[in-house]
Amino acid sequence: MSDLDNKINTHFQGLVVRKDLVKTVKGNAIVPSYVLEYLLGQYCATSDEATIQTGIETVKEILRKHYVHRNEAGLIKSVIREKGRHKVIDKVGVQLNDKDDVYEASFSNLGVSKVLADTDTVKKHPKLLTGGVWCICDLEYESSENKRISPWLLQSLKPIQLSHFDYDSYLATRKQFSTDEWIDLLLQSIGFNPEMFGPRSKLLQLVRLIPFCERNYNIIELGPKGTGKSHIYSEFSPHGILISGGEVTVPKLFVNNSNGKLGLVGYWDTVAFDEFAGKEKKPNKALVDIMKNYMANKTFSRGVETLGAEASMVFVGNTKHNLPYMLRHSDLFEELPAAYYDSAFLDRLHFYIPGWEVDIIRGEMFSEGYGFVVDYLAEILKTLRNHDLSQDYKEYFELFSDISTRDRDAIQKTFSGLMKILFPHGDVCKDEIEVLLQFAIEGRKRVKDQLMRIDSTYTEVQFGYEEVGKNRQELVKTLEERQYPQHYFQGAGSNTADGGTKSSETKPTPLESEADLEVELNEQHLVVEENQKGISFDDLLGPYLKGATDIVITDAYIRKFHQARNIMELLETIAKNKSDDEEVLVKLITIEDEFYSEQQKEYLMSIQENIWSAGISFSWEFDEEKTIHARHIITNHGWKILLDRGLDIFQHFDGKDAFSLASRIQKYRLCKKFEVTVVRAVV
């Protein structure tokens, strides 16, 4: 186990589970992760391997005996009839039979309905009345001569949820972890390997948790397929419900006026709409109007009566076009149905998760480390709904005064949610608060900037903050604003990066087939943000390497395969920028790996042999004193390129996938955050 895994097991003993065990026990059981982890938490919440293996077998046996597969429903019914009673794991829903004045349960997989349920059970678990709840039940069969009486009896019912949660103990234990450790623990808890994510990408994953801990929080995520947008809302918590297809009726969501029955928003903490995008969809206009009022005021009407609820609303869907296409030709809401493509509805959204920044899920991204049993974390988040940390930034920062009340509320709700998730114990420094505040502002700014394209009545707003007591102001920009400024500022009331209005006459235009013209190179400092795309060695370094015949690369960390691959790709850039009849000498100064020296040398020798045919003489030298720390490239024609991350600027991608653009073309890779400084060097 890693040091973090040992620490997790020490401080949260019995409340964590190894995340890869879910796959081990799931088999062909179509059951949410929180159900499996509930069982794993009973038998495998330990670091002892022998106990884990025994627990796995126990859980498998429980699932084998009691989980109801649809195709085996007939067999289970027979078992219950012959034995008289049998324990089943199934999704149970309850309805009121007002003719006979009784509650009747239905079992989703078993296919049994009209099972008598007592009033106390329904009062204790009201969510049984909406959407159904996964439960462990004792079901009895008792035949009767009266054919109107159902032979099925619900003897006992236990929702698969944590029975006890000690909030004070949770806060005390949180103090034992650093911020980075805590973030990694949360990432592992939702099933991901934190090593595969940068700081910004981790926040993008964790912001999906805010609807579970923040009341009436409205969030949207649109992006490409396969990024796990709906996973958390379907698998993560027994307090949330995912509506497949993105369509629902007014009675089901809010209230049935004919019988007064509350809808989903009255019972669930989070209501998520899957497959929300799709221009061809035609949702009920009345539903959209009620939803707009609910998202703004937390209330909805039932005839003459106004009711309140606290369910957060989540909208997830796929986009058909990539980011630059949407920015140039339409907007980031272009895929929504016409009824939702309404500025009044969109203005109710507190945060827009940029789904194009979230990597497509690959097997290597799943965690094998320890994380909270998801039901435990779900209870943590539910408890945190009673807290408000939205003002905790005001000791250090103030939002710009021209930010509207609605924008301010959105920013503060996102900030509050992130604070609850990361710093519930209140031990947080100014720099950490600033990171969360910037992130919250950016998510709301993404919504508002697109509204300005859609509706000309929206006026320009400067999104930013100032530090209390100091003359420092910070303008906040979205990542796509930095990455595609030539496309970003379009539409009604659009504003530029420096706060002015960009007219069509001042928009930058690309050079027309002048690629071969010599461009004057200057000293520069470049900052690339995490998850930014469009960066390549050819564009970033190529112009400064062109014409050099002697190049020295200094980097202490050229040891692993991906680091050696980076060197090879840099040599490819050099090869593209030299003529066939020229020879370039390239020398690498690095440090010999203490444990895998032979593998390291094998990589370097392979590079040397393969690049020789391109007219590049590659050599390397190990710094025996192991004192080098700086990473830079020096050319013999006057340039020194300072690289704070060396060549390791790209996030993990599947290099084994021959059909992945990211593995073949650098500009399609997500970047880590890094800085490059180019200065004149003494030759």
Q: Are 347 and 333 in contact (CB under 8 A)?
A: no
Q: How far apart are CA 315 and CA 223, in angstroms?
A: 12
Q: How far apart are CA 142 and CA 517, in angstroms?
A: 89
Sort strands 351-354 and 218-223 into parallel, antiparallel or unpaired. parallel
Q: How far apart are CA 584 and CA 574, in angstroms?
A: 8
Q: How many residues does the chain have?
A: 683
Sole residue written with tokens 């013209």: 517
Per-residue DSSP letter, 652 = P
Q: What is the mean pLDDT of each run of 10 residues along the chain (683 residues)?
A: 92 89 78 84 84 90 88 91 92 89 92 90 86 88 79 88 82 96 96 94 97 97 92 86 83 84 90 92 89 93 83 95 92 94 96 94 89 89 95 97 96 98 96 98 97 91 94 94 87 41 37 47 94 95 95 94 96 94 94 92 95 94 87 95 95 87 93 96 77
Q: What does CATH list as the number for 70-159?
A: 2.40.50
Q: What is the pLDDT of residue 498?
A: 40
Where is 483: in which H helix or E strand?
A: helix 479-483
Closest CA to 16 of 173, 197, 189: 189
Considering only the C-alpha atoms of the chain, give the largest distance between any 2 of them, rounded to a whole number of Å.
103
Let me know if domain 524-680 sits in CATH 3.30.870.30: yes
Q: How far apart are CA 71 and CA 76, in angstroms?
A: 10
Q: Are 638 and 683 in contact (CB under 8 A)?
A: yes
The contacts of residue 653 (CB under 8 Å, 6+ apart) are 359, 660, 662, 663, 669, 670
The contacts of residue 366 (CB under 8 Å, 6+ apart) are 19, 20, 23, 191, 192, 193
Token digits of residue 6: 């040992």
Per-residue DSSP letter, 639 = E
In degrees and rounded to multiples of 5, residue 632 shows phi and psi of -160, 170
Q: How far apart are CA 122 and CA 116, in angstroms?
A: 11
Could you state, in order of their start, the residue ranges of all structural domains in the chain?
A: 3-12+166-372, 70-159, 389-494, 524-680
Q: What is the pLDDT of residue 22?
A: 84
Q: What is the pLDDT of residue 85?
A: 92
Q: What is the pLDDT of residue 611?
A: 94
Let me know if domain 3-12+166-372 sits in CATH 3.40.50.300: yes
Where is 299: in which H helix or E strand?
A: strand 299-302
